[in-house]
Structure 1
């Protein structure tokens, strides 16, 4: 797929991995619609890109808000002439919770519902409501854009926690494991329309989420879990991987790890 002059919906695009992806796609001459609770930082939404960025304040856990936001994006594409090219689901949260804590209290259902609501249900809402419009986009060869008749790409974000979650990551692991499990059946669903589906499973990256980690946890990750390079991933490296997924037509139905070879221990 050619990224230039196509429109990509990015949930959670105002920070972290989503923001890096927004910036990278803008550099590739794409149009970007950001669905997030928080506004886009001004360095991204500056004059150079003003006409290519649409921000819609959206709580991805609220189906009506997502539907309204996607409808607004579709109307925007009509005014810009930049057809939908895909969706990148970067909205996510991580909240720790043990099955039973040291005080004998069971895992909070409120925490469970919140994490699953944002990470899993939010991804589901954004994806299906964008997909409804993506399947009507003219095929690639009609746009003189390729030979496969590709219409677009759906990118979801799983996590290495889907494979090797730590103690206290039950809700987070459940949400990311479900996304990993959704990938292949969704790719099979969407194949008839010429839409690819790919998930990325990053390890620790330099984001506001990992910024919540204690210094002890960060040091232990560096000493015990990270191989090479011995650092967290950079958001730009994640964005470069998204670009590769979008541009390589033979990437489909898979979940790809971005870990630097790291294997997180059961406990830190």
Structure 2
């Protein structure tokens, strides 16, 4: 897809992987809507890249719908959606305080899995009405899963389930949306130097990096963004989940 002049929406776009994707898209001349629940951070990044900030709780239908309307009002309909909004939670199924709180499990599923589907369904509906570009393409959706979808660790039941759901819905949705010329892809990152890991002491980060075969370090958000850009650019990539993990396979705990 020729990106210059197109509109894109990046959820979870105010920090981490989403911010890297937003910056990379903007550098290619894309009009980027930075959608995030953190309004202040979204506004700061939008100002930096010449985009627009949109406050959005991806897990809420009305909030997602309002965000799509707000983004389109400024930039026009989006041909690119990058879903990066997500949360993590470490809880054992049976811990010292008893069984895993069901509300906590629901919250992770609601944000990570339902939130991804919520924004995807809304963006796809909008894309399906656009005029096709060269080759018949109307849009691209890139979701963010995790290698925890495949080898989740003890305490990651909710997180792994949410990310596994994203992996599982990639192909059937890609097959369905093919009739509109909309491609759907998913990136499953390994250990990346996002704000969450960046807050850890250096010793803890070094310990995590020591488990990664090669390159022997945490991933850079820019590397995630580079893969997202290639997926957008390569019209024959569709319905695929790509692990971006330096060949890491996580231990049980």
- Provide the rounded CA distance (Å) in 1 between the counterparts of 2:188 and 2:237: 15
| Contact kept? 2:188, 2:242, Cα under 8 Å | yes
Q: Which residue of 2 aligns with 1:42?
A: 44
Displacement of 1:43: 5.7
Displacement of 1:131: 1.0
Q: Which residue of 2 aligns with 1:66?
A: 64
Displacement of 1:108: 1.4
Determine whether 1:245 maps to 2:231.
Answer: yes
Q: Structure 1 pair 105/214, CA: closer, same or farther in 2 (3 Å)?
A: farther
When Rg is computed on C-alpha atoms for both structures, the one with the higher figure is 1
Q: Which residue of 2 aligns with 1:93?
A: 87
Q: Which runs of 5+ in 1 are unaligned?
A: 141-145
Q: Once the two structures are superposed, what CA deviation does each residue of 1:119-156 show, in whole Å capped at 9, x if it has no partner?
A: 0111111110111101011100xxxxx3x110010110
- Provide the rounded CA distance (Å) in 2 between the counterparts of 1:74 and 1:31: 10
Q: Secondary structure at the match of 1:42?
A: helix
Q: Secondary structure at the match of 1:84?
A: coil
Q: Which runs of 5+ in 2 are unaligned?
A: none
Determine whether 1:132 maps to 2:125.
Answer: yes
Q: Secondary structure at the match of 2:47?
A: coil
Q: Secondary structure at the match of 2:184?
A: strand
User: TM-score, normalised to structure 2's length?
Assistant: 0.94
- Provide the rounded CA distance (Å) in 2 between the counterparts of 1:59 and 1:41: 15
Q: Secondary structure at the match of 1:45?
A: helix
Q: Structure 1 pair 161/35, CA: closer, same or farther in 2 (3 Å)?
A: same
Q: Which residue of 2 aligns with 1:175?
A: 162
Determine whether 1:220 maps to 2:207.
Answer: yes
Q: Structure 1 pair 121/132, CA: closer, same or farther in 2 (3 Å)?
A: same
- Provide the rounded CA distance (Å) in 1 between the counterparts of 2:175 and 2:199: 37
Determine whether 1:187 maps to 2:167.
Answer: no
- Provide the rounded CA distance (Å) in 2 between the counterparts of 1:89 and 1:252: 16
Structure 1 runs (4+) deviating above 6 angstroms are: none
| Contact kept? 1:226, 1:260, Cα under 8 Å | yes
